[in-house]
Amino acid sequence: MDWIGPAVVAAAVSGIVSTVGFVVNRATTLATHRERLTADRTLAERKSEFDKDLAERKFRYDRDLNDHKRGVELAETVLSDFYQMTAVLQEIRNSGALSNEWEERTPEPGETEWQAQNRNTYFVPLASIRRNSEFLSGMMSRRYRSKAMLGAEIDAAFQAVHEILVRVQVSAGTLMRLVDGSGEGRQRNQALRDRCEADIWMGAGDPNAPDQLAEQMEQAVAAAERVCQRIITGEGAA
């Protein structure tokens, strides 16, 4: 029975080897599983961060694109307004405007026919402003939105238009008040009258001097072109 001892030893060794192998395989499997879980978790975290970053970039892109579109639309509208304003101002300051525009004026109590004729003449620019009030109100209603979206330079252009309109209205009102019964007021206030007539009528001022209001309007349009074309063409942002 001497062979039983080695057999038992061999069996024991085989069992130990099997057990060790199982333990090693089990440990290896668990380690591999943990590594896989760690890798999967890391990949999931990276994917989550990537998706989050992608979503944020898409949001910023969509927001910037929307802001750009809104800016372009506003710039196109504003620039069109300034071009149209040039034509409207020429109409307002046209000394050969329709003669029946004065009919809107309420006559002063006791005014003579001569006074009425002169006041009617000076009233025409005011009537023209009223006739274009819808366009003028629409244009000026965009002033502060334009300042917010397009910048401070465009606000200076709007301010110039405002000053031009105020100057025409004040000058027309002044001329109407200067009309008296004898016509002597023309001689007493000739310099003021000439200056006011140059405001309300194109070409009524010194032929050797520039038309101040027309020049101011040209500068306003040039400023609007600088700002709006920059936005429209994408060369710059407000």
Contact 185, 118 (CB under 8 A): no
Query: Who wins on pLDDT, 20 or 33?
Result: 33
Instruction: Enter the pTM of the model.
Output: 0.70
Contacts of 88 (CB under 8 A, 6+ apart): 132, 135, 136
Q: What is the mean pLDDT of residues 160-184?
A: 89
How far from the centroid of its chain's Cα atoms is residue 209's Cα? 35
Q: Helices in the chain by DSSP H: which ranges?
A: 4-92, 113-131, 133-141, 143-150, 152-178, 184-188, 190-200, 212-233
**Over the chain, what is the mean pLDDT?**
81
Q: How far apart are CA 196 and CA 20, in angstroms?
A: 112
Q: How far apart are CA 94 and CA 190, in angstroms?
A: 21
Q: How far apart are CA 15 and CA 8, in angstroms?
A: 10
Contact 219, 160 (CB under 8 A): yes
Angle of helix 133-141 relative to helix 143-150, nearest 10 degrees? 30
pLDDT recorded at residue 207: 84
